[in-house]
Amino acid sequence: MQKKIICMTLVLCVLFCSSAFAVSERVVFYPSGADFSSKVKADLKRDVNGDYAMFTLSGQAVPETFTIASLTKGVAINDVSWSRSDLSRSPAAIELGKKIDQLKFKKDAVISQKQAVDGGIAFWKERGIDQQIKPSDLGNVAGQVVANLSKLYTESAKLAVKINELKELINDLQRQLREMAGGDKLVWNVKVSVASKGAKSADFKIGYMLRNCGWEPKYKLDAFPGSGKVQFTFEAEIYQGSGMDFKNCDVALATVKKQSRISPPELGRWVIEPKPEPEPEMARYAMDSMNMAMEAASAPEGGAGTRVFKRAPTRVSKATYSLWEMGKKNLPAGSTRKYAVESETWKSEFSFIARPSLTPDVFVSSKTLLAEAKDYPVGVALMFMEGTMIGKKRFSFSGKEKKLYFGSDPMLKAERKTVEKQSGEQGMFNSKQTYSWKYSLELENSRKVPVKVLVQEPSPVSGDKRIKLEIVTEPKAEIKEDNFEWLVDIPAGGKYAVNYGVEMKAPEDMDLDLGIGR
């Protein structure tokens, strides 16, 4: 019975009715949706309006994307019409419904049987506790209680397992029923009118987009600083709720980005003008209230007003995306499956970065330069350090060069110590306010090999020409993007110290914001 139901389901879900059968199929999965195409041989029929071919498509097909071309000489396409059918009334769906009802009846019967057994357990529990028993009969009654309870507990456990099995069967059949037409119990009937010159059948190439399909990239990056490599693994998780079973179908993955623009954004005007006078509090409150009232008035019923902006996956490089050819696959309707796409070893240059004023951790980073450009869409990546998982993050890669971080190295530590922090005044007639900061950055390496670490700290910047700064660093630091940078070698099992100081002078009457130096 089960095999019969599954076969009937496949007949309805495979794509076409009995008058047509697929010769070859191909599906390209996008992050959201799929593009299905097929070469198919179909019987030609005749009615009062002339010759036609009938196709039954999944309810998830998008009608406006449907294309068809004749591959048979002498057969031309005239027009195409669409109609809906309720698949819930099909013979296969009715058989599935009957099977589900039978299993539900059986499940209820087993539940009733278990309730009776549980009642027996309750009876023997009470008999062993509440009944008045003669001392001479105590051993006999205790033996009966233990024997009966043991038997009943075993029977109750078996029945519980049977109930769960029946529930799983019911859920599986209900899933099949939902997926017969992609979850909406409807299919598309496509009537293609042709001029055939008496042909009995013809070959066609059709194509259309499918909803409720797509794929997500899954990545794994494992860093090995000692050997200078990153092990990269790329998998694709494909989901397809099209209501069709793809059998021995050519599958490809496309990396076209979601919500990509079709045209460039418009440039805004650059206007330099005085700032408007600040509004009085009550006037601003009144204007905010009016804006809120206008927004509420223009909102759709039952919700707040929102502004909607319409914005516009061997790897084969296209002009604007990449395509991964996955070969022939079987993808049953409703399934979610994971497939390996690529696995590579990237030669990488590793470095260590410390920012002691923020954290004592020293972070591991890698810089990878590939021979050819890559295009990996945004997805979740599991991050590993020498086989140990350290977390996960969002990952994407477009181009040849990629910098990655792999958490902190437990064998390295960095600490910033405040040596001096004070303020004062200078002079009697030309009074100034002064500040002095002195810091020591101590780095420790517990590894058995020396390590090169890039140390970064903020470098103070004067926001006014009257604020004078004197900076002393040891060893001498490079200043890049308003940061001190030292590239230092820490000996194996040793320490290294970096020192820097800042002297500031400013007018006495200047109200200063010392920033992070406060």
Closest CA to 62 of 209, 178, 240, 196: 209
Q: State the pLDDT at residue 63.
A: 87
Q: State the pLDDT at residue 447.
A: 87
| Residue 301: band (very low, low, confident or very high) from pLDDT cuts 50, 70, 90 | very low
Say whether both 417 and 511 belong to one domain: yes
**Residue-averaged pLDDT of the chain:** 79
Residue 235 has pLDDT above 60, yes or no: yes
pTM: 0.60
Say whether both 151 and 234 belong to one domain: no
Would you say 229 and 348 are in contact if contact means Cβ atoms under 8 Å apart? yes
Answer whether residue 470 is part of any domain: yes
* Residue % of the chain over a pLDDT of 90: 31
Residue 414 has pLDDT above 90, yes or no: yes
**Six-digit token string for 117:** 């057994």
| Residue 176: band (very low, low, confident or very high) from pLDDT cuts 50, 70, 90 | confident
Between 103-107, 164-168, 180-184, 435-439, the lowest mean confidence (pLDDT) is in 180-184
Answer whether residue 354 is part of any domain: yes
The secondary structure of residue 476, as a DSSP letter, is P
Radius of gyration of the chain (CA): 37
Residues 6 or more apart whose Cβ sits within 8 Å of residue 469: 460, 462, 502, 503, 504
* Domain termination site, one of 166, 195, 211: 211
Residue 518 has pLDDT above 60, yes or no: yes
Q: State the pLDDT at residue 427.
A: 47
What one-letter code names the amino acid at 25? E
| Residue 493: band (very low, low, confident or very high) from pLDDT cuts 50, 70, 90 | very high
Say whether both 355 and 448 belong to one domain: no
Q: State the pLDDT at residue 314.
A: 63
Answer whether residue 45 is part of any domain: yes
* Domain termination site, one of 211, 228, 259: 211
Bridge partners of 408? 363
Say whether both 462 and 492 belong to one domain: yes
What CATH code is carried by the domain that includes residue 11? 2.40.30
The secondary structure of residue 382, as a DSSP letter, is E
Say whether both 508 and 420 belong to one domain: yes
Q: Which residue has the higher pLDDT, 185 or 84?
A: 84
Would you say 431 and 478 are in contact if contact means Cβ atoms under 8 Å apart? no
| Residue 454: band (very low, low, confident or very high) from pLDDT cuts 50, 70, 90 | very high
Answer whether residue 285 is part of any domain: no
Say whether both 58 and 79 belong to one domain: yes
Answer whether residue 286 is part of any domain: no
Say whether both 221 and 356 belong to one domain: yes
Would you say 506 and 432 are in contact if contact means Cβ atoms under 8 Å apart? yes
Say whether both 45 and 188 belong to one domain: yes
Residues 6 or more apart whose Cβ sits within 8 Å of residue 157: none
Answer whether residue 289 is part of any domain: no
CA–CA distance, 136 with 152 (Å, rounded to integer): 26
Say whether both 382 and 235 belong to one domain: yes
Range of the domain at 23: 2-90+182-211
| Residue 347: band (very low, low, confident or very high) from pLDDT cuts 50, 70, 90 | very high
CA–CA distance, 391 with 387 (Å, rounded to integer): 12
| Residue 137: band (very low, low, confident or very high) from pLDDT cuts 50, 70, 90 | low
Strands 483-490 and 76-86: unpaired
Could you give the number of structural domains in the chain? 4
What CATH code is carried by the domain that includes residue 510? 2.60.40
Between 1-15, 183-197, 217-231, the lowest mean confidence (pLDDT) is in 1-15
Select the highest-mean-pLDDT range: 94-98, 270-274, 387-391: 387-391
Question: What is the rounded end-to-end Cα distance, in angstroms, of the chain?
Answer: 79
* Domain termination site, one of 406, 440, 456: 406
Answer whether residue 280 is part of any domain: no
| Residue 69: band (very low, low, confident or very high) from pLDDT cuts 50, 70, 90 | very high
**Six-digit token string for 384:** 């590993």
SS3 per-residue string spanning 403-417: EEEEEEEEEEEEEEE
Residues 6 or more apart whose Cβ sits within 8 Å of residue 146: none
Closest CA to 333 of 403, 419, 241, 248: 241
Q: State the pLDDT at residue 474.
A: 92
Answer whether residue 306 is part of any domain: no
Say whether both 413 and 509 belong to one domain: yes
For residues 93-107, average pLDDT: 82
Would you say 416 and 391 are in contact if contact means Cβ atoms under 8 Å apart? no
Say whether both 172 and 187 belong to one domain: no
Say whether both 484 and 345 belong to one domain: no
pLDDT, tens digit, for every residue of 254-299?
876 545 566 667 766 665 455 566 555 544 544 554 454 444 444 4
Strand order in the sheet with 322-331: 67-70, 201-210, 34-43, 20-29, 246-254, 322-331, 315-317
Q: State the pLDDT at residue 92.
A: 60
Bridge partners of 329? 249
CB atoms within 10 A of CB 248: 10
Strands 229-240 and 336-354: antiparallel
